[in-house]
Each structure stands twice: as C-alpha cells, then as structure tokens.
Amino acid sequence: MKEFKNVNELKKDNPSLAKELLEMFDEGEWQENELYVYESLADYAYYELTEGWYADKHLDQKDYNGAPNPIDFIDLKALGLQLSRTWDESIHYLTKENWVVETGYGWN
C-alpha cells in the first residue's frame, strides 16, 4: 500500500491514476485528503487481514511456533474480489487496472 497526502502528490507518482480519479469523481475535498493505493485486490485483501478489518485476529504474526501461517493458504485475490463487492463505494474505488484506491474522506 502506498499513502499519498493528496491527489497532487499522487499525480507526481502516478499521473495516469490521478487522471482517472479526477475524471471519475467531481472536484472536492477528497483531492486534499490522504489517498491509499493498493496495486491489486490481493494487496488490498492482505492489508485488510493484517492491519484493517480483520486485524484483531492477529494474522500479521510471522511466527506461529512451527505451525503454518494461515495467510499462505488464503486466496488473497478471491478475498479481495469479495471485499470489493461489499465495500463502501463512497470511500473505495476499483480502477480500470484493478488497483484499489481508498480515501478516508469520501469521494463526494
């Protein structure tokens, strides 16, 4: 996940993604707020498992005392796709390239 302070910072790093967002959403306060970019649905799912929605399950552990890491057995792409079908569209966006962009402010 990459974090950007605002759309102008994103524009410097990824002009085509910034352009897509500016074409998709009306001008607004979201442009001045943080944007979180995940390069795939799998990256987004991994974030949700380790730092987001499921963080209290402690799946971010690296050592399970010899037991396998459960994340190694999760189809992250499939989980990411399912998460995208139920997320709040006012703060999430799935790009043409299947990247995920999230704003804490909302697109409106």
pLDDT digits (tens, 9 = 90+) for 10-23: 999 999 999 999 99
The residues, any chain, with a CB within 8 Å of residue 57's CB and separated by 6 or more, are 49
pLDDT of residue 69: 83
Q: How far apart are CA 89 and CA 65, in angstroms?
A: 39
The pTM of this model reads 0.87
Mind listing the pLDDT tens digit for each residue in 48-105?
998 888 887 777 777 778 888 888 889 999 999 999 999 999 999 999 999 999 998 8
- pLDDT attached to residue 97: 95
